[in-house]
Structure 1
Amino acid sequence: MQRFDVIVIGSGAFGSSTAFHLAKQGKSVALLDKADIASQTSPRAAGLTGHLRQTEAMTRLSTEALRKIERFSDETGEPIEFYQPGSMSCARRLEDVAVIRERVALGQRLGLSAELISPEEARAKNPFLETKGILAVSYMKRDAYLEPAQLPLGYARAAEKLGAVLMPNTRVLEIVVENGSATRVVTKSRRIRRRCDRGCSWRMGSSRCGSGRCAGPRRANAPSTDDHDASCGGEVQPADDTNS
Structure 2
Amino acid sequence: MVTYSDQTPKQFAGVLPEATDVLIIGGGVIGISTAYHLAKKGVKVVVCEKGRVAGEQSSRNWGWIRQQGRDHAELPITMESNRIWQQLVTETNEDLGFTQQGVYYLAESEKDLASYEAFMKLAKEHGLDTQILTEKQVLEQIQGRPGRWRGGMVTPSDARAEPWQAVPAIARIAERFGVTIVEDCAVRTLDFEGGQLTGAVTEQGRIKAGRVLLAGGAWSALFADNMGVKMPQLAVRATVAATAPVENVFNGNAADSNFAFRRRMDGGYSLALSDLHNHFIGPSSFKHLFKWLPSYKVSFKGVSLGLKGPKGHPDSWGHKRSWTGNDVTPFENVRVMNPQPAPSAKTTMLARLADRFPQLAGTRLVEIWAGMIDAMPDFIPIMDEAPNHKGLFIATGFSGHGFGIGPAAGRIMSDLMEGNPAGHDMTRFRFNRFHDGSKIELGPFL
* TM-score normalised according to structure 2 size: 0.41
Shift of 1:59: 1.4
The residue that corresponds to 1:183 in the other structure is 198
SS, match of residue 30 in structure 2? helix
Q: Could you tell me whether the CA contact under 8 Å between 1:177 and 1:184 is conserved in 2?
A: yes
The residue that corresponds to 2:60 in the other structure is 44
Equivalence map 1:155-234=2 (5 Å): 155-191=170-206
Identity of aligned residues (%): 26
Deviations 1:185-242, CA, capped at 9 Å, x for gaps = 11112355x699xxxxxxxxxxxxxxxxxxxxxxx99599xxxxxx7xxxxxxxxxxx
Equivalence map 1:1-244=2 (5 Å): 2-76=18-92, 78-132=94-148, 134=150, 136-191=151-206
Q: Could you tell me whether the CA contact under 8 Å between 1:36 and 1:169 is conserved in 2?
A: yes
Deviations 1:1-31, CA, capped at 9 Å, x for gaps = 5431010110100000111111111111111
Q: Could you tell me whether the CA contact under 8 Å between 2:33 and 2:170 is conserved in 1?
A: yes
Distance 1:175 1:94 in 2: 52
SS, match of residue 83 in structure 1? coil
Deviations 1:170-199, CA, capped at 9 Å, x for gaps = 01111223333332111112355x699xxx
Distance 1:195 1:186 in 2: 11
Residues paired across the two proteins, number: 200
Q: Could you tell me whether the CA contact under 8 Å between 2:187 and 2:200 is conserved in 1?
A: yes
Distance change (3 Å), C-alpha of 1:55 and 1:43? closer
Distance 1:122 1:132 in 2: 10
Distance 1:129 1:143 in 2: 24
Shift of 1:65: 1.4
Distance 1:195 1:128 in 2: 55
Q: Could you tell me whether the CA contact under 8 Å between 2:189 and 2:202 is conserved in 1?
A: yes
Which sections of structure 2, spanning at least 5 residues, go unmatched? 1-16, 211-323, 329-390, 392-446
**Counterpart AA for 2:137:** E
**Counterpart AA for 1:60:** P
CA RMSD of aligned residues (A): 2.8
Q: Could you tell me whether the CA contact under 8 Å between 2:27 and 2:54 is conserved in 1?
A: yes
Shift of 1:51: 1.2
The residue that corresponds to 2:252 in the other structure is none
Which sections of structure 1, spanning at least 5 residues, go unmatched? 197-219, 225-230, 232-244
Distance change (3 Å), C-alpha of 1:98 and 1:165? same
The residue that corresponds to 1:207 in the other structure is none
The residue that corresponds to 1:236 in the other structure is none
Q: Which has the higher strand share?
A: 1
Shift of 1:74: 3.4
Shift of 1:66: 1.3
Shift of 1:162: 1.4
* TM-score normalised according to structure 1 size: 0.72
SS, match of residue 43 in structure 2? coil
Shift of 1:139: 1.8
Distance 2:98 2:325 in 1: 49
Shift of 1:39: 2.4
Structure showing greater radius of gyration is 1
Deviations 1:144-183, CA, capped at 9 Å, x for gaps = 1111133321221111111111111001111223333332
Distance change (3 Å), C-alpha of 1:28 and 1:39? same
The residue that corresponds to 1:235 in the other structure is none
Distance change (3 Å), C-alpha of 1:77 and 1:181? farther
